[in-house]
Amino acid sequence: MTIEGDIGQLLLDVALEAGIFIPAACGGSGACGKCRVRIVQGSVDALKLEKLTAAAKAEGYVLSCQARLTGDVTVEVPRVKVGRKVIPRDEAERMRVTAAPMESPIIPEVNPMTVRVFLTPDTPEAEDNASDYERIVRTLKVDHDIFPVTANLEVLRELPLQVRQEDWKVTSFLQVEDFPGLDTTIYRMGKISPGHIEEFPTALAVDIGTTSLWGELVNLDTGEVLARASRYNPQISMGDDVISRIVFALKKDGLEKLQQQVVKGLNEIVDEVLERSARKRNSIDYMVTAGNTVMTHLFLRLYPKFLREAPYVPAAQNVEPIPALALDLNLPSHAFVQVFPGVASYVGGDIVSGVLANGMWDSDEMTLFIDIGTNGEIVAGNRDLLMTASCSAGPAFEGGGLEYGMRAAPGAIEGILIDPDTYEPMIKTIDAKPALGICGSGIINIISQMLRLGILNQNGKYAQTLGTDRLREGRSGYEYVICRAAESGLDEDIVLTEVDLDNILRAKAAMFSGYTCLLDKLGLSVDALDRVIIAGAFGSFINLEHAVTIGLLPDIPRDKFSFIGNSSLKGARLAVTDRTLFNRSRDIARSMTNIELSEDPSYMDNFMAALFLPHTRAELFPSVRLEA
């Protein structure tokens, strides 16, 4: 068979995406040596060959988890022994991989929220002894047509020494504030630095998720992402979901504590991206955050009580730029924070950011946008009309609430292929680190495969008589062993329990019911959709067929689907690089109509009907054929 891969991609990843089983038990770290393949034609960039004998190396064997494509190549996947069984896999014996260069990331127009201007005002003399600040303002206006300019006291206090340090050669950093309704732009002087600073300024794009925080450091000259980092939202210790966080916030000092926690996490992300990119903290001009409405309230310390009481009213959605220090962020004194506006209490700035990133606001195509996070949010429509709703899917697809669930972070099992004969799994972890748990894409992939192979029935219960020791009775009912302790990064087996399965079933039913209800409001069936865009930080190996198989995504032509990953972070990055897009996001937020599903009786009906794999009404998923 001939399959396609990208230059630089690992052979193991290519095989996984193509559904070719290679017994990768250690997650891709090069430790187990089981994923060896032989290069028949062409060559690869291979590392870590110590698990291979000299003879094997001489024959052209490499570890598929350590070999990156450099061009077209033909690979022989050996017959291997798994457990006590020899695996025949004739058709997969040879795979021919055609390599395409990695698609270059789209660089949007660079039009940041700050501008940096090199100035050399006239040196004062007796005939012209205007103040330091007025000299700067005058030069900005006359030489650069930049006005009106404002400056806060901190900037003015430092001005006299700074302008004289390099003989009136300075760099002025200005925050650009648009007032779109008025066609007015005001320039706020963030700082003045002595000399002409050639080093490029940076800004941060941040996604504040209920479960995870993501941050990217962006070069404001080019729009290029310099470094990326993520971690759990430290607020997790104060509640798994938004409702429990609100409850915590209403306790004494609860709101303050929650704010401190998320800022702590963000400060760590800032430290990490600065270290990774070897940039200085002082290069950071601003941060754009996208988060759901509850996360945004907690980050800004806005009183969240009325978010959870009908009619669910936020304190504020459109917030002006905030000095970073006012939020205790460890950022330069001139840095500010721009917060994505939300639509409603349960459709927040992360969704607006996602809509900005996916382009449906500017498209004629009837689009369904599904963001699978701790909350599930859905947007349907096009440039003429955007409707949105949220459903409490719970954090299962982010790995939350599962025995060995985890977010899409290094060590998370994201790719899984189960051998149909032996029921042995081939696993791929993020960053090829020893397996620590399973993330969203791994969960969708494994459930779909277990359903197809009959390991699981349509009610989400395990078949108990398959004769594999991967399936066993555990502490909380039956469970499947995804990764054995010896091969994992933990001291214990990584398993998926029936309790986990129940959680996942409810999460997928909530998502299904959510988009079904919203399309009903629009009078549309799924067949009328031109596009379905899936977002979510569940790892990059989410497989479309698998997601349809379990009934999470609608059973429509596959070419209508696309995956956008963490669209909230993507939208934040777009806003970082182009402030006109951020301004546009305010219009997008205003134009979105929110539907409260919790008030809608059809939501519960649809939910109940979806608590089955793929669905109680099999005709909704005609392409799904189960072996059972």
Contact set with a second copy (CB under 8 A): 124-126, 128-134, 137, 147-148, 150-153, 156-161, 164, 179, 181-182, 184, 186, 300-303, 305-306, 310-320, 322, 326, 344-345, 594, 596, 599
Closest to 113 measured CA to CA, from 284, 357, 327, 365: 284
Tell me the closest approach of the beta carbon of residue 227 to a second copy, in angstroms.
29
Tell me the closest approach of the beta carbon of residue 6 to a second copy, in angstroms.
44
22 contacts 64 by C-beta, under 8 angstroms: yes
* Dihedral pair phi/psi, residue 291, rounded to 5°: -155, 165
Helix (H, G, I), strand (E, B) or coil at 536: coil
Rounded distance, CA 387 to CA 355, Å?
11
Taking the least distance from each CB to a second copy, the nearer of 299 and 538 is 299
255 contacts 298 by C-beta, under 8 angstroms: yes
Rounded distance, CA 51 to CA 63, Å?
8
Tell me the closest approach of the beta carbon of residue 302 to a second copy, in angstroms.
6
Paired sense of beta strands 202-208 and 284-291, if any? parallel
Taking the least distance from each CB to a second copy, the nearer of 74 and 598 is 598
Element (H, E) at 568: helix 567-577
Tell me the closest approach of the beta carbon of residue 123 to a second copy, in angstroms.
9
Helix (H, G, I), strand (E, B) or coil at 149: strand
Tell me the closest approach of the beta carbon of residue 258 to a second copy, in angstroms.
14
Rounded distance, CA 75 to CA 73, Å?
6
Closest to 226 measured CA to CA, from 262, 186, 276: 276
Tell me the closest approach of the beta carbon of residue 160 to a second copy, in angstroms.
4
Taking the least distance from each CB to a second copy, the nearer of 232 and 306 is 306
416 contacts 398 by C-beta, under 8 angstroms: no
Taking the least distance from each CB to a second copy, the nearer of 326 and 618 is 326
Closest to 228 measured CA to CA, from 259, 253, 205: 205
Q: How many helices (H) and strands (E) does the chain have?
A: 14, 31
Taking the least distance from each CB to a second copy, the nearer of 244 and 593 is 593
Tell me the closest approach of the beta carbon of residue 161 to a second copy, in angstroms.
6
In the numeric block, the tokens 């909704």 are attached to: 620
The amino acid that residue 283 corresponds to is: S
Alpha carbon 323 to its chain centroid, in Å, reads: 26
Tell me the closest approach of the beta carbon of residue 319 to a second copy, in angstroms.
7
Tell me the closest approach of the beta carbon of residue 369 to a second copy, in angstroms.
21
Taking the least distance from each CB to a second copy, the nearer of 108 and 194 is 194
Tell me the closest approach of the beta carbon of residue 560 to a second copy, in angstroms.
32
Q: Cα dist. 287→9, 255, 322, 361 in Å?
A: 32, 22, 10, 24
Taking the least distance from each CB to a second copy, the nearer of 187 and 214 is 187
Rounded distance, CA 545 to CA 557, Å?
11
Taking the least distance from each CB to a second copy, the nearer of 184 and 222 is 184
Number of C-beta neighbours around residue 23 at 10 A: 22
Rounded distance, CA 93 to CA 485, Å?
30
Element (H, E) at 12: helix 11-18
Taking the least distance from each CB to a second copy, the nearer of 77 and 339 is 339
Contacts for 514 with CB less than 8 Å, ≥ 6 apart = 376, 378, 389, 390, 391, 393, 597, 603
Tell me the closest approach of the beta carbon of residue 133 to a second copy, in angstroms.
4
